[in-house]
Amino acid sequence: MDQPTDVIPHDGSAMPVHLLGHHLYEYSKGVRPMVMMTLSTRDADTVTRKLAERFVDYHVQTVTEAKVNVFFGNPTCVAMVRTVVRKPLNQLTPEEDFILGTLLGYDREQQCQRFLSMAQVGRAGAGREGAGRDGAVS
């Protein structure tokens, strides 16, 4: 397999950097146009440095003082995230949530079901199962 091995730490450090290699492989093969990783700020520094070295566009969203979401991939998709994701993920409108899920490559039918559920009953608590985003910490 031709996954990039140079992003896997040789000192046994944080798993998120190992996952970056897998995500970059999928992105380079066109499996997904964009990826979101939730990381500690320490791990985010390493990940964003590796992305910059590879000229991969990215956007960092603060979740808490110690945690961030790093979105990366297709420059057009990342630009869309910069426009749409301007608040915690659990506060996105059903439309914003649908756009984000679609950009991340989530199952379209599940995204449609999630959107309809959220639109019908309101944002709070709606459609959390099966879509992969669990509110402000995702």
pLDDT in tens, 52-107: 999 999 999 999 999 999 999 999 999 999 999 999 999 999 999 999 999 998 99
Whether 50 and 6 have beta carbons less than 8 Å apart is answered as no
Helices 15-28 and 41-53: crossing angle in degrees, nearest 10, is 30
pTM for this model (two decimals): 0.76
Whether 3 has a pLDDT exceeding 70, the answer reads no
- Unique residue bearing structure tokens 């397999």: 1
Long-range pairs of 115-119 with CB within 8 A, sequence gap ≥ 24:
118/94, 119/94
Distance CA 104, CA 33 (A): 7
In which band, very low, low, confident or very high, does the pLDDT at 15 lie, cut at 50, 70 and 90?
A: low
Whether 36 has a pLDDT exceeding 90, the answer reads yes
